[in-house]
């Protein structure tokens, strides 16, 4: 691995960097007992940079994370955005999600909900559960896109299928809200709560 990395192989450089990475951003799965690899985000950043400059999308994403959080390299959110964008433009779903989050937070780039929605959508369509949840939230609250509870539920439920806990919470909140709105509307239409017609009215609005 090291020999290939030193010869300039971008994929090997990324994997070798991942072997050195530590903490939440680490690559324990890339290491084996007895490898003798020194755990150092500074070393990881060096190899990520070499691979990222050659266009390796995974390295660009991980390097962006290092810059965002100041791991092994001085924190610089603008530079993080640069690397996320390069990776996202190649279709990396995690980078697309992270770029969307940077736009949502206004971190290293001017805050822009429309751009956040754009990148969340691209990642969500690839099955990224975090992006699906974030996109659902945008639809539920009408941030950067017209408010639409049904579409919000669609994305939340896709994330729930992947075991995303916060998406399940959002589904429950939105379902409760939807039922309350339907009940209020039926009461305004003159139906008495507890009657069959009231129940039919609520079910019709919910469906």
In angstroms, the CA 67 to CA 76 distance is 5
The per-residue pLDDT for 7 is 86
pLDDT in tens, 167-207: 888 888 887 776 776 777 788 888 888 887 777 777 776 66
Q: What is the mean pLDDT of the chain?
A: 88
Whether the predicted pLDDT of 86 surpasses 70: yes
Q: Percent of the chain, pLDDT > 90?
A: 60
Question: In this predicted model, what pLDDT tens digit does every residue of 24-50 receive, in sequence order?
Answer: 555 555 555 445 567 889 999 999 999
Alpha helices (runs of H) in 37-148, residue ranges in sequence order:
41-53, 57-69, 77-88, 93-105, 113-124, 129-141
Phi, psi for 142 (deg, rounded to 5): 65, 40
Question: What confidence score (pLDDT) does residue 168 get?
Answer: 86
Is a pLDDT exceeding 70 seen at residue 144?
yes
What pLDDT, on the 0 to 100 scale, is given for residue 68? 96
CATH class of 1-90: mainly alpha
Amino acid 35: pLDDT = 57
Using CA atoms, how far residue 185 sits from 4, 26, 97, 129, 145, in Å, is 67, 52, 37, 33, 25
Q: Please give the pLDDT value at position 154.
A: 94
Domain ranges of the chain: 1-90
Instruction: Tell me what pLDDT residue 76 has.
Output: 98
């Amino acid at each position: 691995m090291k020999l290939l990395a030193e010869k300039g192989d971008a994929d090997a450089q990324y994997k070798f960097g991942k072997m050195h990475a530590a903490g939440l951003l680490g690559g324990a799965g890339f290491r084996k007992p007895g490898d003798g690899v020194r755990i150092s985000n500074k070393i990881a950043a060096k190899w990520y940079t070499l691979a990222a400059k050659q266009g390796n999308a995974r390295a660009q994403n991980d390097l962006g994370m290092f810059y965002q959080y100041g791991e092994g390299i001085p924190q610089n959110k603008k530079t993080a955005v640069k690397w996320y964008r390069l990776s996202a433009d190649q279709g990396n779903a995690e980078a697309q999600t992270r770029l969307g989050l940077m736009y949502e937070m206004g971190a290293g780039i001017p805050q822009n909900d429309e751009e956040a929605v754009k990148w969340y959508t691209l990642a969500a369509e690839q099955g990224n559960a975090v992006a699906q949840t974030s996109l659902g939230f945008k639809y539920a609250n009408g941030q950067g896109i017209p408010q639409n509870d049904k579409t919000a539920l669609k994305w939340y439920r896709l994330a729930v299928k992947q075991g995303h806990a916060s998406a399940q919470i959002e589904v429950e909140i939105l379902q409760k809200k939807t039922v309350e709105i339907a009940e209020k509307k039926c009461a305004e239409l003159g139906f008495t709560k507890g009657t069959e017609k009231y129940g039919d009215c609520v079910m019709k609005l919910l469906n």
